[in-house]
Amino acid sequence: MARNGSSDEFTGPVRRLLVGLILVVCVAALLVWRIDNPRMERLRAAVVDRVVPPMAWVMRPVTAMVTLVSDFQSYTQLYEQNQELRRQLQQMRAWREAALQLDQENARLLELNNVRLDPELTWITGVVMADSGSPFRQSVLLNVGARDGILDGWAAVDGLGLVGRISGVGESTARVMLLTDASSKVAVTIQPSGQRAILSGDNSFYPVLDFIESADAVRPGDQVTTSGDGGLFPPDLPVGTVALGTDQRLRLRLLADYQRLEFLRVLRSGERERILDPGGLLIPPGGVTALPGVDAGPARSADGLPIPPTRPPAPDAATGTAPPATEAGDG
């Protein structure tokens, strides 16, 4: 206990002495540093020159730590900028895809103007919504229908040529039967020979040319257009070119791009006169008047139909004489 007391008596004054010296040195340094005098300025410069360079090695760890913190902050900023650039790049890719789709749609719409049509024809443009998806039925669905004035039988074309015809109309949709469908039959003209034929679909990309008037006059590469026979399609619509199939049959290479049907133009066809009484075109309602010296042929009724000749009556078995003849109009 005595030893601890003596040590406290010794360290206490020394501690107070050191604290007092430190305070005196600090006050003296403050006063020296604050005095605005040329001599004191030279003294301060000499102290700095003598003290600071040897203390540089002490500041190296501090300088290294400050540089490390600054580099870490720069790395964090670079990482955030990189993430922001990635997000912008993803947005740019989405915009690029949208721009490409719009460019393709614009190209399809511009291709629709390349088909040379009769100036008297008008049309309605529709978007292909879906296809049949069946190997036994070739058709597509458009987003136009009865509310747009679409009627059955109207022709549909793309930017290159004839695609098919309307085969079913709803209120807001319409179905187009393609030329490749097995039920499709179209009257066509082969140029330059002028041969008439029937284009028959067989569920392949190359429909068959049937019933050609003179097959020897047709060559592969000849242009084929609609003939307008039967009033199903307007005449002179481009369809395709003649090709020789692997089965040695004359087929048609269609102009329309069936792999990329996005927009179709439905051609409005005018109302055609219907023949309800074909007999009236052949025989006038009042019958035929025979020319002098010309056999008029069998007698005809008021409807123009021939009247069968009256069979002579059979003789009576008892008397052997025939009964009197009656008029054809009598009961």
Which residues have C-beta within 8 Å of that of residue 207, sequence separation ≥ 6? 179, 180, 184, 199, 200, 201, 251, 252, 254
**Predicted local confidence at residue 189, as pLDDT:** 94
34 & 157 share domain:
no
Q: Looking at the structure, tell me whether residues 153 and 233 fall in a common domain.
A: yes
Inter-residue contact 145 to 298 (CB < 8 Å) = no
Once rounded to an integer, what is the mean pLDDT over residues 207-228? Answer: 91
3 in a domain, yes or no?
A: no
Does residue 121 carry a pLDDT above 90?
no
* pLDDT for 185: 92
Instruction: Look at residue 303 and tell me whether its pLDDT is greater than 60.
Output: no
Cβ contacts of 227 within 8 Å, gap of 6 or more: 187, 188, 189, 196, 235
Task: Give the model's pLDDT for residue 62.
Answer: 75
Residue 124, classified by CB atoms within 10 Å of its CB into exposed (0-12), middle (13-18) or buried (19+), is middle
Cβ contact 310:293 at 8 Å = no
Coil/strand/helix, residue 69: helix
Q: What pLDDT, on the 0 to 100 scale, is given for residue 327?
A: 47
Residue 46 and residue 127 in one domain: no
Mark whether 264 and 179 lie in a shared domain: yes
Look at residue 220 and tell me if it is in a domain: yes
176 in Cβ contact with 140 (< 8 Å): yes
Q: How confident is the model at residue 23 (pLDDT cuts 50, 70, 90)?
A: confident
Q: How much is the mean pLDDT over the chain?
A: 77
Q: How many domains does the chain have?
A: 2
Residue 292 included in any domain: no
Q: Which residue has the higher pLDDT, 35 or 91?
A: 91
The residue ranking higher by pLDDT, 260 or 328, is: 260
Q: Is residue 168 part of a domain?
A: yes
The Cα–Cα gap between 138 and 282 comes to 41
* Residue whose tokens read 């075109």: 281
Distance CA 181, CA 135 (A): 9
CA 304 to chain centroid: 57
What 8-state DSSP symbol labels residue 229?
A: G
Pairing of strands 174-178, 185-191: unpaired
For residues 97-119, average pLDDT: 68
- CA–CA distance, 143 with 131 (Å, rounded to integer): 12
CB proximity list for 330: less than 8 A, separation 6 or greater = none
Residues 256 and 135 in one domain: yes
Q: Tell me: do 154 and 254 sit in the same domain.
A: yes
What is the pLDDT at residue 328? Answer: 44
Q: What is the structure's pLDDT at 316?
A: 54
**What is the pLDDT, as a whole number, of residue 329?**
43
End-to-end CA distance of the chain: 168
- Planar angle of CA 35, 38, 40, nearest 5 degrees: 45
Task: Kindly state the percentage of the chain with pLDDT values over 90.
Answer: 20
Q: What is the pLDDT of residues 53-99, one digit of tens each?
A: 666 666 677 778 888 888 888 888 888 888 898 888 888 888 888 88
Task: Report yes or no: 269 and 118 within 8 Å, Cβ to Cβ.
Answer: no
The residue-averaged pLDDT of 152-157 equals 90
Asked if pLDDT for residue 114 goes beyond 60, the answer is: no
**Does residue 229 or residue 253 have the better pLDDT?**
253
Q: What are phi and psi of 307, to 5 degrees?
A: -95, 125
Distance CA 301, CA 292 (A): 20
What's the confidence (pLDDT) of residue 19? Answer: 85
| pLDDT given at position 331 | 40
**Cβ of 19: how many Cβ atoms within 10 Å?**
10
Claim to verify: residue 156 and residue 257 sit in the same structural domain: yes
Report which secondary-structure segment, H or E, holds 272.
Answer: none
Contact 264, 158 (CB under 8 A): yes
Query: Which of 63-77, 93-107, 255-269 shows the lowest mean pLDDT across its residues?
Result: 93-107
Whether 156 and 46 share a structural domain: no
Domain boundary among 230, 246, 268: 268
Q: Does the pLDDT value for residue 43 go beyond 60?
A: yes
pLDDT in tens, 274-292: 555 555 545 555 555 555 5
| Residues spanned by the domain of 41 | 12-51
Find the range with the poorest average confidence among 131-140, 168-177, 183-192, 216-225.
131-140
